[in-house]
Structure 1
Amino acid sequence: MRRALALAASPDARTGPNPRVGCVLLSPDGEVVGEGYHHGAGHPHAEVEALRAAGGRARGATAVVTLEPCDHTGRTGPCSVALLDAGVARVVHGQSDPNPVAAGGARRLAGAGVEVVGGVLAAEAEALNPAWTFAVTHGRPFVTWKAASTLDGRVAAADGSSRWITSAEARAEVHRFRAGVDAVIVGIGTVLEDDPHLAVRRGGVVLPREVQPLRVVVGRRDIPERARVLDGAAPTLQVREHDPATVLVALRDLDVQHVLLEGGPTLAAAFVRAGLVDAVRWYVAPALLGAGASALGSAGINSIADALRLRITEVARVGDDVRIDARVLRAEED
């Protein structure tokens, strides 16, 4: 299973609407006869890749797969049927499939006489796809709010200037993080005031459009024709709404699993007020301004008792800045 987990985490295993999955096929005497992993939506699933590598040696083999084989026909056929057709005798899987559309593979395999063992290194398997698991179980994308502020919580100076609060190293890390999400959200106010580009760059070079996250602009005012978010470097969608829940429904319908909220204080406050922030990535620069815009606008929090509580998951130094990663504590986690 650890080999299957490593395959699923391969650098070219793209995130997106489909989970990362790895599969290893073992002969009855324990020899690896085939292995594979899912490269992204539209590509063969991990089980199919492993079966192709194994050929006729798949008959009587054990398939070790990080996620319960799907029982769904989408862009590709069900992996449960592929395993049955290949004559696999035993299936060992990690995470059970939480997606009601695709689940049921273990049941089909067991019903056909295949020995099925589930829950092997399940926590490690689930950790491969936290945003995907969240999205399919909650019916909406996972939301990470990214903010960059001075030590006194300012995101802009009194004159409105905000570039650059954080270091070049922190900004480069943000681009790497952006590359792993499905969409980046800002408000129309940020577009009008700052004209952000929002496309992922590496080494100062904009990555190809096909690997860019969706740029999402929230608000009813028109995007200026010459705005950089309309330059074609990445796909762009305007959601002419103010309600965060409506925005997330629109993105869910586009198979978006993980969004990065990069908007200003007003949009961030709207998401916080709606209870729709799940994690925070905060960069703190060793600087003081004393005045200027705060990172978070009015979020309907009026007392310490009502404060939005976070659980810190990591603290790291990035250049001269400090990054704090945290998860929002829900009532059931208090």
Structure 2
Amino acid sequence: MERAARMALRGHGQAEPNPMVGCVILDSSGNFVAEGYHHRCGGAHAEVDALRHAGARARNGTAIVTLEPCNHHGRTGPCSQALLNAGVARVAYGCCDPNPKAAGGGDMLRAAGVDAFHLPCAAAERVTAPFLYRVRTGLPWVIAKWAQSADGRIATKPGEPRWISGPESRAMVHRERGRVDAILTGMGTVLTDDPLLTVREARASRTPVRVVWDPRLSIGVDRALVRTARETPTVVACTPEALAARSVHANTLREYGVELRAVDGLRALLASLRTQCATLPAGDRTGASTVLVEAGAGLVRSLHAEGLINDVWVFTAPHTIGDAGPRSMAPMSAAALAGLPCVWHGTRGVDAVEVRRVGG
């Protein structure tokens, strides 16, 4: 099951809004035969992909899949029927499908005489968690990312280079930008860093919409996000009161190509992004499945306080910065991070990287 979960991760950035799913096929003797995953939304599901590689060797064998096989006709046929047609004798799935449109594959297989059963696995649950969360809450999966020094600072002192993490860490972030549907930032970051928040030097599966949480609608037309809004989709979200009070400025922003949204807070903003946000390569407009937060500590803390963050990606450089002002403190202390479940940890160049699960 853990091997199937690793396969599932290969679909990140292409499979969404569908779940990331992996599948491993064993022959009748329990030997490995083939593996597959859901490559892209609208394409073959993981079971079908694995069965194509397995061929006749799947007969009387076992399929190990991270999510209960679907049992409905969507853009593709039901995976439960594909497994039945292949003559698979046993099916183990790591998570039950909560989607009422697709669920029931396990029951269908059991009714047909297949030994289908739920085999709980932490790795399968982790890779399926974003899909389960979206189905349960109607909100996108939110990843908050920041780089910090060894002494927990996320901003440098005036006059010092602003980069804290190394080029390898920044490359990892750019790859993730190219897999998400939206990048969310706040006005503090816009004023201090004037970021572009685009995907650079990495292959992009998606063109993420750049989203600014600007409650007072104070963003200036000199900011890079506004100046490039016709090149890369840009949303500025503010309160309804600010939009009404600053209607002239709002119209100016629209002339630059900025899309304005009036929402009552961060939860409402994320809900609106889930309804409509992303521009896929095919030009389809669809709701956001995954949002990457690249912002200062204030916005990250606000999102966390409302229970709206699912994962945090923390890049810790080996050097210290010292006191660079109150805005330089990391959103979470080392003790708070250590108390969260670790999804993955490793290194990128000289930086330590950890992915922690906050909620989901």
Give the equivalent residue in structure 2 for 1:153: 153
Q: 1:215 to 1:89 in 2, by over 3 A?
A: same
Q: Distance in 2 between matches of 1:58 and 1:318?
A: 39
Following superposition, the deviation at residue 107 of structure 1 comes to 1.3
**Does residue 167 of structure 2 align to residue 139 of structure 1?**
no
CA gap 1:54/1:308 in 2 versus in 1, 3 angstroms: closer
> 1:69 Cα deviation (Å)?
0.2
Task: Tell me the SS of whatever aligns to 1:44.
Answer: coil
Give the Cα–Cα distance (whole angstroms) in 2 for the partners of residues 321 and 234 of structure 1. Answer: 30
Aligned to 2:270: 248
Distance 2:57 2:354 in 1: 49
Q: Residue type of the partner of 1:282?
A: V
| Cα distance change of structure 1 residues 142 and 98 upon mapping to structure 2, 3 Å threshold | same
Query: What is the deviation of 1:276?
Result: 2.0
Q: Is the 8 A contact 2:175 2:202 kept in 1?
A: no
| Structure 1 residue 97: Cα displacement | 2.0
- Tell me how far apart the structure 2 counterparts of residues 48 and 87 of structure 1 sit (CA, whole Å): 13
Distance in 2 of aligned mates of 1:57 and 1:194: 56
2:67 and 2:128 in contact (8 A); partners too: no
In structure 2, what residue type is equivalent to 1:263?
Answer: A
Distance 1:293 1:268 in 2: 15
Change (3 A) 1:236 1:89: farther
Within a 5 Å distance, the mapping from 1:211-226 to structure 2 comes to: 211-219=206-214, 220-221=217-218, 224=221
Q: What is aligned with 1:275? A: 307
The one-letter amino acid of 1:311's match is G
Query: How does 1:1-16 map onto structure 2 within 5 Å?
Result: 1=1, 4-10=4-10, 14=14, 16=16
| 2:293 counterpart letter in structure 1 | L
Q: 1:267, CA displacement in angstroms?
A: 2.3
Cα distance, 1:234 vs structure 2: 5.5
Q: Distance in 1 between matches of 2:93 and 2:324?
A: 55
1:197 CA drift (Å)? 1.9
Aligned partner of 1:164 in structure 2 is 163
Q: Structure 2 vs 1, CA of residues 289 and 4 (structure 1 numbering), >3 Å: closer, same or farther?
A: closer
How many Å apart are 1:145 and its aligned residue?
2.0
Which residue matches 1:23?
A: 23
Partner of residue 122, structure 2: 123
Q: Does 1:207 align with 2:200?
A: no
2:321 is matched by which residue type in structure 1? L
Q: Which amino acid aligns with 2:266?
A: P
Paired residue total: 318
What corresponds to 2:77 in structure 1?
A: 77
Match of 1:304 in 2: none
Q: Following TM superposition, by how much is the alpha carbon of 1:86 offset from its aligned partner in structure 2, in angstroms?
A: 4.7
SS at match of 1:36: strand
Give the conservation status (yes or no) of the 8 Å contact 1:311–1:327: no
Q: Is the 2:94–2:124 contact (alpha carbons within 8 Å) kept by the matching residues of 1?
A: yes
Q: Is the 8 A contact 1:157 1:293 kept in 2?
A: no
Q: 1:252 to 1:317 in 2, by over 3 A?
A: same
Point out the more displaced range, 24-33 or 256-265: 24-33
The worse-fitting range, judged by mean Cα deviation, of 228-237 and 253-262 is 228-237
1:263 maps to which of 269, 275, 295: 295
Q: What amino acid sits opposite 1:216 in the alignment?
A: V
TM alignment of 1:166-185, pairs within 5 A: 166-185=165-184
Q: Do 2:13 and 2:179's aligned partners in 1 also have CA atoms closer than 8 Å?
A: no
Does the aligned pair in 1 maintain the 2:23–2:36 contact within 8 Å? Answer: yes
Percent identical among aligned pairs is: 42
**Once the two structures are superposed, what CA deviation does each residue of 1:138-186 show, in whole Å capped at 9, x if it has no partner?**
4323323222345363525357x77223333432333344445443211
Q: 1:36 to 1:236 in 2, by over 3 A?
A: same
Residue type at the aligned position of 1:70: C
**Structure 1 counterpart of 2:212, one-letter code:** V
Deviates more, 1:167-176 or 1:321-330: 321-330
For 2:320, the equivalent position in structure 1 comes to 287
Question: Using a 3 Å threshold, how does the CA distance of structure 1 residues 328 and 69 change in structure 2: closer, same or farther?
Answer: closer
Displacement of 1:43: 1.0
Please say if 1:227 is aligned against 2:224: yes
Alpha-carbon distance change, 77 to 192 in structure 1, aligned in 2, over 3 angstroms: farther
Letter paired with 1:252: R
1:94 aligns with: 94
SS at match of 2:93: strand
- Gapped runs of 5+ residues in structure 1? 300-306
Q: Deviations over 1:88-117 (max 9, x none)?
A: 443232222233442211112222333312
Alignment counterpart, residue 311 of structure 1, candidates 339, 345, 349: 339
Residues 283 and 88 of structure 1: CA distance in aligned 2, closer, same or farther (over 3 Å): closer
Q: Distance between the aligned counterparts of 2:347 and 2:55, measured in 1?
A: 49
2:134 is aligned with what amino acid?
A
The one-character-per-residue Cα deviations of 1:269-300 (angstroms, maximum 9, x if unpaired) are 43133232333333445233534351469x9x
